[in-house]
Structure 1
Amino acid sequence: MRMTSVLTVLFFFFALPPSHENDCREPRTTTCEPARSLSPAARIPAAAGQEISGMVKSRFHDDIYWVLNDSGNLPALIPVTSSGEIASPDTRGYIVDGLENTDWEALAIDRDGTIYICDTGNNFSSRHDLKIHRVSESRDNPALTGTVDTFRIHYPEQQLFPSPDMAYDCEAAFIRDNNLFLLTKRRQDRNTSLYRLRLSSLDKTAQTHALELMCTFPVNGLVTGADISADGNIVAVLTYTSLWVLEHYEDNNFFSGSVRCIPLTDAGQIESVCFMGNHTVAAVNESANELFFIDITAP
C-alpha cells in the first residue's frame, strides 16, 4: 500500500480541516517532530508467522509479549521476547481452541492478564461477523489458561454492507477504565474513529453488542495499531508512516491534550505496537518480522 510522504504529514498540522459533528475535542497542543529512521533491534523467527498484526505486553511475565497473525493464519497467540525468541514449546504458540482466525488484527490486555483478541479486520467494510474473543494468560508460565468467551459486535452507524466509505475496519485496540477502545482504519478520508465497548456490559447470551462512537480524528493515515501505557497516561497510535503520542488528556478524551506526531521511515509495513515501559514502545512489521524500539520521550 502506498505510504503518505513525510511532507504530507507535516502539512497536516498547518491545514487542519474544519470541525464536523463527532470530531474529537481539539487538542491543547499539536506537534510534529522530525522524522525518525528506524533500524531493527531484533527479528522474530518466521516460524511464528509472517503477518504479525497485534502485540501486547504480558502482565505477569518479564520480557514476554503476546503476538498474533492476521487472516488465513492459525488461531494462535505466540509469546515472544524482546530479542525475538519464541517463548513457547511449539513455535506456532498456543492454539485457541474452538476459534477461527477470520481476520484477527489487534490485541488488548487488562491489568489482570485478560487478553482480548479483536477479530475486527474488515478491509471492505463488508463483514457481519465481527467478534471479540476473551482469553486469559497463565500466571505460572507464558501460556493461556481457562475458557474462551466470544462476543459479537457491530457498528450502529453502518447501514450498507459493504459500506462505500470503507470506514469500519479496525486494527487497533487498548483497554482503560474497564473499557475496550477501538480505533478504525478509514481508507477514504484517512481519519480514525474512536469507539468504546464497555467491558462491564459484555453478556455471553447477547446476540450482539453495539460499539459506541466517541469521536473522529484526522490522523492523515491508516491506523494499524495502538496501545496504552501501564499507568494509563499515554496512548500510542500507529499508522504506516507515523506514530502518534497522546498525553495529558482528560478522562477518556484521548485527543484532548498533547498530541505529537513522529513520522517514521525505513520501517516497512508496521502493523503492531505496544508499550515496553512508560516511555518506550515496540513495533513490528509484517513479512520481515523486524522489531523496532522507539523512545517516545518528548524532545
Structure 2
Amino acid sequence: MKERKIFTNYISKLPNIFNRYFNIGCKLTNFKCLDDTYTFVLGVMRTAQILQKYQKKINLLEAACGSGLVALHLLKKGLVNQVEGFDLDFQAVERSIGNAKKLNCEHQSHFFSGDLFNIQGVLKNLKYSPHLLICNPPWIPIPKGLYTPRIIDGGINGTKFVPPIFKLAQKIGAGMISLNTSSLSFIEKIWEQVRYFKLQLIESIICFNYLGELTGRSEIKKHIKSLKYSFISTHKSSQDFIGTNQDLYLIINLILSSKEISNNPISSNQFYELLKNFQKYGLQISKIYYKDQRLHFYYFTGNFLKVK
C-alpha cells in the first residue's frame, strides 16, 4: 500500500546531523547518546528557526543540559545569540563550561548547577532573559521501588519532569518550549499539563524505533523491555519535520492495545483498523510512515507556543 512508507531515509540522516557535534571537538558525558538526542536536535533547531521570525536576538535556556552540546550547537549555528544551561550533575556543568571555552563561546554562554524541582534556585542563577526553553529529560516510566540510575528515571508515568519544565517556562516568560519525550511515557499526562499551562503544540519531530533497533545505554534497554501498556494516544503535527515543502505529516502513536511492547508482527488489517479508531480524535491521515510490520515506539520532540 502507498501509505506504508519506509522510514529508513529519515532515520539514516539522523547520525549525520548529530555528527556535527563531534566535528567541533566537544566532549560528551559518560553516557552514550540515544536516538532521541538526534530527534531533540532537529526539534530545537526548528523551534529556533520559527522563533527567529518574531525575535531577532534569541536567548536560550536548556534545562538538564548535560554537556551543553545542544545549546552550544545552536549557538555555533547562529540560531541563538546567548545560551544558558543548568544540570543537577556538577560534573556535567563543568563539562559544559569546558566545551563552551573550547568553542570560544564562554562570553555568550552561562552554565550552572540547578534543579528543576527548585525553580527559585534556578531563577536566582539566571544571567539572561530566556525566550526559548528546551529540555530532554528522563522519560522512561520506572515503577515505584525499582532502583535505577537517576539519569533515566522519568517517574512512574515517565512524565515527572514535565510539570516543572512548563512551570519554569511560565516563571521565566519563555515564549516557546521544546520538550523531548517518547511514546513510552504516558502521553495523556503530558497533554493534561499542556492544557493546564495553556500551551499550543505547533510542531512535532519524531523518530520511530522498535526494540530490535534500540541502541545506546544498556540500562535503558533493560527497563524498556520490561514495560507494559494498554492505551492508545494520538496527536497532530502542523509542520513537516524536516522543514521542506513536502506534505504535512500527522504523527501516529503506535502504542497499540497490546499487553506489552514486543517485536511480534502485527497484521495490516490490525494496523488500519487502529487508524479508523483515531477518527474519533479528529485525526485526518495525510501520510503514514510505517517502517515494517513490527511494533514501534517513537521519540517525540514537541515544540510548544505559550498562549497569552
Band the TM-score falls in, shorter-chain normalisation: 0.3 to 0.5
Structure with the greater alpha carbon radius of gyration: 2
TM-score, normalised relative to structure 1: 0.32
The two structures have a TM-score, normalised by structure 2, of 0.32
Q: Which has the higher helix share?
A: 2
Larger strand share, 1 or 2? 1
